[in-house]
Structure 1
């Protein structure tokens, strides 16, 4: 049995489900937000055995061939009860860790993605180029970083929001003291060039150039996607990045400079791909379904 973990109406879940059905593979959609109201999860630490019940289906770890990790949603009915929320999340995460590399991607790889500063450092150690970056909440260091670089973008440390250009209003004492006393920030030197997205799925790599004049192409509904073949050196870097981050598959974002150099921005362990596939005709779903069924 293949588990698809996410919301049933997510386009990614729907597309992967259709591909698996067409290839004759058995699958179930596991919406973690419905646990523990609709799903049942049991664990015996004595022999490290678990059982997941989804509707009429009861699955031990040995019954689960693989898991596609699209989203891990917190239990919906436990939101107002902090203890219930922590307890539900604890057992759910224990279950996901128990699957090991059956999970695409593993719980450890997903957790690694939440530590983006460490992710960037590991990629840099491979010899892959990354933007000059500062992560922290020291106002003096923020000003010094911005003084060294003509254009600087800022974004949350864990991601999840669009990158924006730093302006003088952001560097006032009032703004810095207010914002940096609440949380650290990620600053990066803005890289002139073109956005490239690469999907790495097992041994396969599919890439497209994203033509957009926006600082963050995700804000540009008119962005143009053009399939390309990236240089062999960058293909090798993409595979090395996935290995060091423990990723069986990933969506990697690069910035290609006017001189043709590729700068690594991020490796997403659960990227959206349906819109990308529809606009490029690159066979992302096919290879993802093959990865899950292998």
Structure 2
């Protein structure tokens, strides 16, 4: 049996999981997806449903022999270029390569994915993610997604405090102010990209880690709208209320997540509001501050039969 970490050589999180696996005396390998197809070979037969990978190091692995995959990051494929169109030779090559990789991602073949393609697709469509979680009966903040300035102004007036952030992600959260909406450039900006406007919940940041059946929560104390940009943010391990533990597991299942960090805002009456569930959260900073080895929990889950 083999274990795969999808990530990059310079990523300390990918390397930590890889080295922890090797320390358990199992065959573990790093796969950088941008090595395919130049350095990595893929074979698949729809007739028998199995195939193989030959890694850049020369190791041959049957897909059905891959026990578990830890997906830290996806780095595209060798000939992928965002400027290439489908009709160019480079564009066609990239599409062909992605079709092969996605076939592997969807196959499963008894492989445990932490996490799989579906989880990452759900994370990219965050408005859909929020809608699905609300339908589970989980509280979410009042949220608007779009580029209609009138509607944005309406929700801004309706809410006591609000934040704005990209729909897809990739930038930090900021408090929304009237000056943002009065600036002459706002309509030009909205013509290029919609935004998410969301109710700012007065309270504190809670992050709940879920790996398999384990649920661990921390409180992150920060004065900023986005604790990720606060170098002075402090974390404290807290007890997870039974309702939140149950909701966290339901959220993970709904979003195809075997491993995740769920971000909440807890208001002053201890109500929890779901913000998002990350399919590939960082954990090294958490380990250093908490003393809890999340990486061992992840490896434990990968090795479970």
Give the TM-score taking structure 2 as reference length: 0.91
1:202-217 aligned within 5 A: 202-217=212-227
In 2: Cα distance, 1:217 partner to 1:174 partner? 29
Check the 8 A contact 1:169/1:175 in 2, yes or no.
no
With over 3 angstroms needed to count, the CA separation of the structure-2 counterparts of 1:192 and 1:70, relative to structure 1, is same
Q: Distance in 1 between matches of 2:239 and 2:291?
A: 14
Structure 2 CA distance, aligned partners of 1:111 and 1:77?
22
Q: Superposition RMSD on alpha carbons, in Å? A: 1.6
* 1:191-232 CA-partner distances (Å, limit 9, x unpaired): 111111111011111111111111100001111111111211
Conservation of the 8 A alpha-carbon contact between 2:119 and 2:255? yes
Aligned to 1:84, what secondary structure does the other structure show?
helix
Aligned partner of 2:208 in structure 1 is 198
Alignment of 1:213-232 (within 5 A): 213-232=223-242
Asked if structure 1 preserves the Cα contact closer than 8 Å seen for 2:79 and 2:93, the reply is no
Identify the residue that residue 74 of structure 1 maps to in structure 2: 76
1:148-205 alpha-carbon deviations (Å, 9 max, x no partner): 0122111111112100112223213743321221122111011111111111011111
CA distance in 2, matches of 1:164, 1:53: 45
Q: Which runs of no fewer than 5 residues in structure 2 stay unpaired?
A: 85-89
Of 83-92 and 21-30, more deviation after overlay is shown by: 83-92
2:43 corresponding residue in structure 1: 42
1:25 is matched with: 26
Q: Distance in 1 between matches of 2:282 and 2:244?
A: 22
SS at structure 2 position matched to 1:181: helix
Residues 217 and 237 of structure 2 are in contact (CA less than 8 Å); yes or no, is this contact kept in structure 1?
Answer: yes
2-structure distance, mates of 1:283, 1:263: 27
CA contact (8 A) 2:50 2:64 kept: no
Question: Structure 1 CA distance, aligned partners of 2:74 and 2:138?
Answer: 30
Contact 2:37–2:97 (CA under 8 A) maintained in structure 1: yes
Distance 1:166 1:214 in 2: 13
Runs (5+) with no aligned partner, structure 1: none
Once residues 34 and 56 of structure 1 are traced to their aligned partners in structure 2, the CA distance between those partners, rounded to angstroms, is: 12
What TM-score does the superposition give when structure 1 sets the normalisation length? 0.95
CA distance in 2, matches of 1:77, 1:17: 26
